[in-house]
Structure formats: structure tokens, C-alpha cells
Amino acid sequence: MGRQTACITHRAVPQRLKGRCRSPQRGGSSLQGSSQGSAVRLSAHGLSPKGEVHWNLGWENLHSIAVERGEARLTAHDVLLVTTGERTGRSPNDRFIVDEPGLADKVWWGKVNKSTDSKTFDHLLGMVRTHLDSADQLFVKDAFCGADPNYRMPVRLVTEKAWHAAFMHNMFIRAESDELEAHDPEFTILHAPDLKAIPSRDGTHSDAFVVLALDRGLVIVGGMHYAGEIKKAIFTIMNHILPLKGLLPMHCSANTDDENSALFFGLSGTGKTTLSADPRRALVGDDEHGWSDDGVFNFEGGCYAKLIDLSEEDEPAIYATTHIPGSILENVVLNADGTPDFANASLTQNTRGSYPIEFIENRTPDSMAGHPKDVVFLTCDAFGVLPPLSRLTPEQAAYHFISGYTAKVAGTEVGINEPQATFSTCFGAPFMPRHPGVYADLLSAKIKRHDAKCWLINTGWSGGVYGVGDRISLKYTRAMITSILDGELEGVDYTKHLVFGLQMPTTCPNVPSEILSPRNTWADKDAYDDKANELADAFNANFAQFSDNANAEILDAAPKATVRN
């Protein structure tokens, strides 16, 4: 349903949200069980709540309660505004998977997938249950992860905050009333944002924690209000389970022209959400998808877009959602008149908007599409070395997919204050529990089977490193994407990047030719060569951990540092 159907209410008191309009979102029922009945139903999760329990409230009631309880306020457009305190992005050092027999046997343990033991989990689980049992109100939200009915997973959130339940309502596949009655979650998140851990006592890294117990069907969250950890925990589980069924889970956005779909892989800040919002193509989803034998399907029922420097001119579809009741703005600062100041980064660079996918008018009705014709890897290169547009061979595609080079953008993680070069396998290592080779093999097989073309787009810097050069214009990046999807790069000439071996088009419609070869944009060509060699060395050092499992063709796709005379 489009944004014109949203009910715009008056701006007097919080109660205006109650009963004023029907939810514009699928499955927006306002069912509420009694405390006694709810306690019985929650006993399956080891909970015996003393307070009131709200089951599957619609967004209007959840927003109203959040305002009444002081969890949130409303903007001039009656959109819910929340702040998350110290943590305004993911906390990767506080995230663990329980190392116990079963599904965890196939986890690729390391710096990303950190383990904790059963004893520590049981201790933290007891703390979370005690905390939730003592809450004056609990909010339960049932939904699904995965738009394809053949592969969707029923999930549940139990939280002490109304606004987090509203986030769950926005971000996952909303259940119909008859589905709610029979809902049996495969995974449940017990969410206690006000509960602080003591690391020396509780075995955590800090006062916050996210712990996944794969075979118990449980996730516990404590000490953090940032909502993104809710959806990323469930996505991590899907990314672990789907390969067992021969499906490729992907950290990517997707859109389609009804005949051909396109995938956009990339980490936060690379343009994944922005570039998939195309007025000429229907959005499938903006963050996580599965690729089955039938095509691609969205994991989500909503979008979680970065809002920093958002403008109506550059991103009209996303901008429109920030004016629709039902949306949630996270860590956005308001002007004196109650309107959002999207240029204000005083709380964080990682300002976010959560909204149901129905708020995007140009979308697929079922969040599904056919097999991709084009696969685009997005990177935000802080070195200013990579071309803004490159065509990849299948071997180069495998190499860059496994490498997952980009820059962490300020605010997306705790402690990141400026872009930093990083390598994140599969362009989503924090959410991929298995060995990268599992996902790379699945991608390669599907690209080959469906004859998809692969591209590398640099949305980062040109003309110099971060702080010296300029970020590549969004207008030009959009033109490059359009040319890819319209097949306009088929007959043009290409030149080869001397270090990375990438095929760079010499012309692209509506893009200045001089920016297509990055070396040309640097005033100091020797400085560019040095930086290109430096980045090549970083690529090769990172890929050394995967070289034993890569074939000769993929290894040959690695960059080769040159020697300047």
C-alpha cells in the first residue's frame, strides 16, 4: 500500500494515535492477551511475567504507548522519534554465539564469530528472564523472516519497550490474524535493553550483550537500545540455516523491472539502500535476501535506511517515508519546528529510519523476484584507488566477494569516527556464521547457472584519499547503475586497471569520461601509484587466509602491485 493511504493525524496530544486510523501495514492487528493467559504462553520461554503483557499490538497503539511511557516523542509529521543512548550502531565486540553441539559445529569461529560457553549463556539467560519478569509491561511481537512461504521462518520478540516492538512490526514480515493464532516461533529474541551486565561477573565484553543459541532457538539481548541488533540477529540465523537447504543468503538489496532483477551487495554506507531505490524499477528489499531455485526473496517486511544528509531531491522515496506515521526515526535531531534535521550528526552519523516496505510505492507486491541478470558489488573506497565502475570476470567476482573490501563509515559501529579500510567477507561477514567459501561457492554456482553479469561500483573517493579527494557524486553513480541495468555498457571499449586488472569502460552515458579511470583524477600520479600498490598489498594480505581453499583462477584475479621506474 502506498504512502497516500497513511492516516495523517493532528498534533495535539499523544492519544491522537489511538484508534484514529487503521494500520497501512499488513498484519497490523491490535490483539492483546490477558496477563494470566499471556503468562501461560510465555512460560515456554521460561518467563513468568508479573506485569501486563501486550500481544501483537498494531503500530498505532505501540507508538502511543511509547510516547506515553517516555520512550519516544513525535515529530511534526507524527512520526515516532527515538534515541538509543551510548550505542548508536552495532556492537560487534558484544556479540557471541554459544559454542555447544549442533548447528554451532559449522560456525567459522574467529574475530567475527566469537564464542561463549553454555554456562555463561545460561547465567545471562537467567538474568534476562528475571529482568523481563519484573517489568511493569512486556510487548510481544510475532512475525516471519523470509517473504517466500517455502522458506520463511516464524520469529518472536519479547521486549520491555513498546518502540522496539514497533520496530519489529516494521522490519519483519507481518503475520495475518489467522497466522498469529497458530504462530509457533522457531527463534525468539528475549530483549532487555535496560539490563546492564557486569563483565567481570557475567562473562561479557561490556555492559551490553547479544548472544545467539542456535539449537535452543533463542537470542538474548541486554544493555543496548540500538534496534538494528534485533534484525541482524535473526538474519545471522537465516544466513546459517539456508545453505543447508541449498539457498544462498545474501547481504544485499534487490530490485526488478519485472523481467530481470538486480542485486546490490555492500556494507552499511556503501549505497545499498539508496541505489536499489530506483523510480524505474520495483524494490524487492534493501538489506537481506535469499536466492533459491525460483529466484530471490526479501528476508524483511521493511527497510532500515541511513538518513544522514538525506534530501528529497536525491532520495525522494526514502525522504517521503520520514513524513508518514508508522515510520520510526532513530537518533535524528529535530529542528525547532519539530521537523527532522537530517544534516545534524550531533548524536551519530548513523541516523536511521525504519519503515514498512509498503511505504515505498514502487515495490514488488510479494517482496520476491526472478533470477538476477546483474550482480553489483558496492564498495566505499577510502583510498581513492578503485574505479567508480568496473566489469568483473567470474573469477574476479569470486575474489572480490570473498574479500568484501570497503570502508567502515563513521557511526555504523561503536568507536568508528571516520572511514576505515576493512575487509568483510561476502560483504557481510558480521552476519555470515559459516566459512566464506560456503557462500562464495553458492554465489559462483548461481551466477554461472543463470548467466548473470558482475560489476564493481566504488561509491567512495576519487582524486585522492579520504580528506583530500572528493566522494564520487551520487548522480554519477546512479547513471552508472542505470547504464548497467539498461545494457548500455555492452558495446563500449574497456581499459584494464594496471594493478587490479579490472575492466574500466572508457565511456558511460551521463558520466564524465575523465573520472572513469581513477588515476586520471589524481593531481599527483606517483602518489596514486603508491596508494594503489598499498591497497593491493592489503588485499593480498587479507586473502592469504582463504588462499588454501581458492582455485588457481581465483588466485590469479588478485591485484598485482607494480614497480614504478
Q: Which residues participate in catalysis according to the annotation?
A: 90, 232, 251, 268, 272-273, 287, 352
C-alpha distances in Å from residue 315, one per residue of 271, 274, 335, 472: 11, 7, 20, 16
Cβ-contact 219, 157 below 8 angstroms:
no
Concatenate the DSSP letters of all residues of 501-564 into one string: --EEES-BTTB-GGGSSGGGG-S-HHHHHHHHHHHHHHHHHHHTTTGGGS-HHHHHTS------
In this structure, the dihedral spanned by the alpha carbons of residues 183, 189, 192 and 195, taken in order and rounded to 10 degrees, is 150
C-alpha distances in Å from residue 152, one per residue of 235, 297, 509: 12, 10, 40
Cβ-contact 379, 386 below 8 angstroms:
yes
C-alpha distances in Å from residue 212, one per residue of 46, 118, 219, 415, 432: 16, 11, 5, 23, 13
Cβ-contact 564, 526 below 8 angstroms:
yes
| Pairwise CA distance, residues 106 & 403, whole Å | 21
| Pairwise CA distance, residues 239 & 220, whole Å | 18
Concatenate the DSSP letters of all residues of 415-462 into one string: T--S-EEEE-GGG-GGG--S-HHHHHHHHHHHHHHHT-EEEEEE-SEE
Concatenate the DSSP letters of all residues of 27-42 into one string: T-------HHHHHHHH
Cβ-contact 317, 363 below 8 angstroms:
no
Cell numbers linked to 367 = 517482496
Neighbours of 341 (CB within 10 A): 13
Contacts of 447 (CB under 8 A, 6+ apart): 375, 394, 397, 454
Cβ-contact 289, 252 below 8 angstroms:
yes
Q: Considering only the C-alpha atoms of the chain, give the largest distance between any 2 of them, rounded to a whole number of Å.
A: 80
